[in-house]
């Protein structure tokens, strides 16, 4: 059964031996980061594996009674536990099963589809009257500084909320989005809202600005044409956009906030699919948005359309500090939370870290969706050292000349994959999960001048090397075997492989050889 809330998830981690409770006093400024970084890199003790356990800090300096959960997704085993599977490919298989549904051709086909349609119906979120996140409601006398929000790195601009589920609504369609954007805490009631311009939340913000600008132009025109001055500035739009932020949700909801979902698929539905149970939502107190009923903490408020403020620097998953820039400001109007809320957070920095395992889960789970658009793809690998968007290794079933370049351009056209700085495309017999094999075969298979192509386009906002913010070059490498139809007329050599007869002979003699 699905985890109903963060607390059930913590209990499950504890039962599985995947949680370490820490009662020694720690400071949320820098100290928790240093402890967690050592654990996630396997530096905490001799022989400790990378990833370590999830950490529940129970004695936070300056925050008596507060608890901080971190590194909850920091290993493959915990990602599997979070999504309640034995292997991430099981989730991919469920997605593939839904994608393989054919249009019914007759009455019997329609009857056969009923169980699957009923199952899909179970995943849609449902709104309930109230929930644990409403145990404490504060419209006045509240402060963000009451929560043990971390400052992660020495040169960070301050404390940052790093694992929020940020809820916005499309002004045109009314569809909700749940995204994850870091939030720099400016003071007791305001934060930055670091939704990069290519994110859905940023598009909702831009659409609200377009809507407000159109309303303003219409109002000004009306005032100019109306006698007696009956229209006043009060008729102009408010210039705000409603936002809600849920902190400390169950693992499926948290994970759904980072997945590259198709634009028309709501994250609450994805969470329901992952947890095999609908997400229960409650209405906010001061904004017209819905949030998970079981969240530990909910921040409600508005982003002002005419206000930008310097956000950053911030030590990011690139291993470098992302530069400061102007971003919208979130004004908190109400805070609701559970009694004694648990603050759920993460840190990012030089890999490997917790976010690397989350990225790997995205890679495995959404491979079927990528194959739906680019069917010749066999497998992909986003190495953790490539920080998601710097390197993608791809194997394909090659059927025609130039196909590797077609695949590169197709990947660059796919949502967040447009930011991929380097794509290396190889033949289907290359195991892209084996970096040694990739290195050997890719570098042997390329003539650099012939097989490397460059293109210009959007790049990740965190790319400090691009010629301009958000715009720069990307590289594709065709490391497939070259065909005569691609202008390669030399013979292609065979790979060195031992024959099966000799391998079997040595297998029989292996114990006798005494080499075990």
User: Burial of 481 by CB count in 10 Å (0-12 exposed, 13-18 middle, 19+ buried)?
Assistant: middle
> 164, 180 in Cβ contact below 8 A?
yes
The token pair at 363 is 């890679």
Give Dmax (Cα) for the chain: 106
313: cis peptide before it, omega within 30°?
Answer: yes
Q: Residue 60 in contact with residue 80, Cβ under 8 Å? A: no
Q: Between the CA of residue 397 and those of 9, 38, 480, 485, what are the distances in Å?
A: 40, 41, 10, 16
Are 62 and 28 in contact by the 8 Å Cβ rule? The answer is yes
Tokens of 325: 């820039």
Q: Crossing angle of helices 89-99/354-365, nearest 10°?
A: 30
| Cβ partners under 8 Å of residue 93, min gap 6 | none
Residues paired with 392 in a beta bridge = 423
List the one residue out of 3, 70, 1 whose CA is nearest residue 251: 3
* In 340-390, beta strands by DSSP E: 342-344, 377-381
Cα–Cα distance for residue pair 186/331, rounded to 1 Å: 10
In degrees and rounded to multiples of 5, residue 168 shows phi and psi of -135, 170
Question: What 3-state class would DSSP assign to 247?
Answer: strand
Task: Please state, in angstroms and rounded to a whole number, the distance separating the CA atoms of residues 166 and 257.
Answer: 8
Active site residue 316: yes
Collect all residues with Cβ–Cβ distance below 8 Å to 293 and sequence separation of at least 6.
128, 130, 131, 132, 133, 134, 280, 281, 282
Within 10 A of 372 (CB to CB), how many other CB atoms are there?
Answer: 14
Q: Compute φ and ψ for 248, nearest 5 degrees.
A: 85, 60
Which of 5, 37, 250, 316 is labelled catalytic?
Answer: 316
Tally Cβ neighbours within 10 Å of residue 178. Answer: 29
Cα 186 to Cα 191, 317, 336, distances in angstroms: 5, 22, 20
Q: Which residues participate in catalysis according to the annotation? A: 316
């Amino acid at each position: 059964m699905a985890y109903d809330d963060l607390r059930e998830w913590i209990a499950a981690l504890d039962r599985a031996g995947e949680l370490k409770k820490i009662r020694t006093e720690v400071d949320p400024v820098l100290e928790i980061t240093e402890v967690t970084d050592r654990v996630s890199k396997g530096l905490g003790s001799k022989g400790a594996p990378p990833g370590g356990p999830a950490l529940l800090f129970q004695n936070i300096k300056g925050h008596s009674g507060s608890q901080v959960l971190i590194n909850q997704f920091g290993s493959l085993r915990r990602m599997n536990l979070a999504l309640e599977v034995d292997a991430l490919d099981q989730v991919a298989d469920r997605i593939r099963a839904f994608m393989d549904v054919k249009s019914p051709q007759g009455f019997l086909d329609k009857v056969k589809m009923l169980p699957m349609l009923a199952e899909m119906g179970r995943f849609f979120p449902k709104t309930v009257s109230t929930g644990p996140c409403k145990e404490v409601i504060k419209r006045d006398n509240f402060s963000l500084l009451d929560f043990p929000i971390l400052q992660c790195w020495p040169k960070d601009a301050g404390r940052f909320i790093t694992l929020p589920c940020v809820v916005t609504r499309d002004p045109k369609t009314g569809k909700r989005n749940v995204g994850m954007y870091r939030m720099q805490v400016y003071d007791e009631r305001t934060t930055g809202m670091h939704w990069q311009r290519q994110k859905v939340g940023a598009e909702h913000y831009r659409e609200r600005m377009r809507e407000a600008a159109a309303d303003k132009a219409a109002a000004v025109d009306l005032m100019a044409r109306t006698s007696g001055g009956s229209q006043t500035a009060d008729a102009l739009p408010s210039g705000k956009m409603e936002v809600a932020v849920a902190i400390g949700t169950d693992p499926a909801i948290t994970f759904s906030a980072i997945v590259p979902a198709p634009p028309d698929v709501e994250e609450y539905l994805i969470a329901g699919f992952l947890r095999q149970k609908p997400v229960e939502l409650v209405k906010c107190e001061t904004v017209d948005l819905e949030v998970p009923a079981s969240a530990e903490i909910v921040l409600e408020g508005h982003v002002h359309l005419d206000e930008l403020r310097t956000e950053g620097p911030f030590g990011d998953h690139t291993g470098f500090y992302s530069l400061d820039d102007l971003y919208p400001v979130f004004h908190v109007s109400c805070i609701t939370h559970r009694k004694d809320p648990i603050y759920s957070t993460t840190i990012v920095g030089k890999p490997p870290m917790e976010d690397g395992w989350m990225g790997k889960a995205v890679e495995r789970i959404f491979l079927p969706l990528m194959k739906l658009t680019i069917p010749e793809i066999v497998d992909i690998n986003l190495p953790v050292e490539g920080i998601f968007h710097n390197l993608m290794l791809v194997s394909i079933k090659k059927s025609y000349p130039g196909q590797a370049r077609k695949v590169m351009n197709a990947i660059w056209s796919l949502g967040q994959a447009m930011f991929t700085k380097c794509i290396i495309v190889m033949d289907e017999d290359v195991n892209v999960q084996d970096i040694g094999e990739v290195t050997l075969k890719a570098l042997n298979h390329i003539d650099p001048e012939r097989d490397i192509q460059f293109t210009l386009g959007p790049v990740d906002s965190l790319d400090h090397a691009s010629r301009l913010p958000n715009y720069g070059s990307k590289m594709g490498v065709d490391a497939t075997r070259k065909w005569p139809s691609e202008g390669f007329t030399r013979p292609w050599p065979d790979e060195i492989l031992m024959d099966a007869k000799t391998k079997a002979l040595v297998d029989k003699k292996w114990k006798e050889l005494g080499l075990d």
